Amino acid sequence: MEEDHIILSADRAWQDQANCLGVDPDLFFPERGASTREAKEVCRGCVVRGECLEYALANGEKFGIWGGLSERERRRLRRQRAQATRNIATA
């Protein structure tokens, strides 16, 4: 049990370096149809943007801006990755 906690802590250590640290979380969870521009701007130069995106993909985050992408953009990326994996498997 303690080992799981250590692994989870290490897996999420990237969050301490995120540009969004200390930013109002509501910015990253806009109302349906609202602009995501400001949240994506915070993500743009973030050194852990990739880790954030991979976290969201691995954990099936369905809402908000993660790694600079909206849920719609993450769904598209998941489909592209799945298609690429299928193409490799059938090659």
Does residue 1 register a pLDDT over 60? no
pLDDT for position 39: 97
13, two tokens: 């250590």
pLDDT for position 52: 97
Smallest CA-to-CA distance from 73 within 47, 40, 45 is with 40
49-83 per-position pLDDT tens digit? 999 999 999 999 999 999 999 999 999 999 999 99
Euclidean distance between CA atoms 65 and 69, whole angstroms: 5
24-47 per-position pLDDT tens digit? 999 999 998 999 999 999 999 999
Does residue 48 register a pLDDT over 80? yes
Which bin fits 34, alpha (ψ -120 to 50), beta or left (φ > 0)?
beta
Residue 22 belongs to domain spanning:
2-90
Contact between residue 51 and residue 14 where contact means Cβ atoms under 8 Å apart: yes
Domain total of the chain = 1
